[in-house]
Amino acid sequence: MGSLKIAILSRGPRLYSTRRLKEAAIARGHKVKVLDTLQFGIYLESGQPDLTFRGKPLSHYDAIIPRIGNSITFFGTAVVRQFEQMGAYCLNNADSIMASRDKLASMQELSTHNIGIAETAFVRNPSDILQAIQAMGGAPVVIKLLSGTQGIGVILAESNKVAEAIVETLSSVKQNVLVQKFVSESKGRDIRAFVVGDRVVAAMRRTAAGQEFRSNVHRGGSAQPVELDPEYERCAVRAAQILNLHVAGVDMLEGKDGPVIMEVNSSPGLEGIEGATGINVAGEIIKHLEEQIKFGNLDIREKLSLTKGYSVTEFNIDKPLLS
Ligand SMILES: Nc1ncnc2c1ncn2[C@@H]1O[C@H](COP(=O)(O)OP(=O)(O)OP(=O)(O)O)[C@@H](O)[C@H]1O
Ligand SMILES: [Mg+2]
DSSP 290-306: HHIIIIITS-HHHHHHH
Q: How far apart are the first and last CA of the chain?
A: 35
Shortest-distance Cα residue to atom 9 of ligand 1: 214
Nearest-CA neighbor of 252 among 117, 151, 100, 155? 117
**For the CA of 118, the nearest atom of ligand 1:** 1
In this structure, which residue's CA is closest to atom 2 in ligand 1? 182
Q: State residue 155's pLDDT score.
A: 93
Ligand 1 within 6 A of 192 CB? no
CB count, 10 Å around CB of 271?
14
- 169: CB partners within 8 A, 6+ apart: none
Q: SS3 for 282?
A: helix
Ligand nearest to the CA of 213: 1
Mean pLDDT by 10 residues, the chain (323 residues): 93 96 98 98 88 94 95 96 94 94 93 94 88 93 87 91 92 90 93 97 95 88 96 97 96 96 95 97 97 69 38 31 29
Q: DSSP assignment, residue 58?
A: P
Q: Is 149 in the pocket of ligand 1 (CB under 6 A)?
A: yes
Report the distance separating Cα 142 and Cα 157, nearest Å.
Answer: 6
**Ligand 1 near 131 CB (within 6 A):** no
The residue nearest atom 26 of ligand 1, judged by CA position, is 149
- For residue 306, the one-letter residue type is L
CA distances (Å), 240 to each of 34, 59, 314, in order? Answer: 25, 31, 35
Per-residue confidence (pLDDT) for residue 152, from 0 to 100: 86
| Domains of the chain, CATH where assigned | 5-91 (3.40.50.20), 119-182 (3.30.1490.20)
* Residue 129 Cα distances to 107, 113, 135, 146, angstroms: 20, 26, 10, 16
pLDDT at 239: 96
120 lines ligand 1 (CB under 6 A): no
- Specify whether the CB–CB gap between 191 and 252 falls below 8 A: yes
Q: Are 4 and 30 in contact (CB under 8 A)?
A: yes
For the CA of 189, the nearest atom of ligand 1: 31
Tell me the C-alpha distance between 176 and 147, whole Å.
Answer: 8
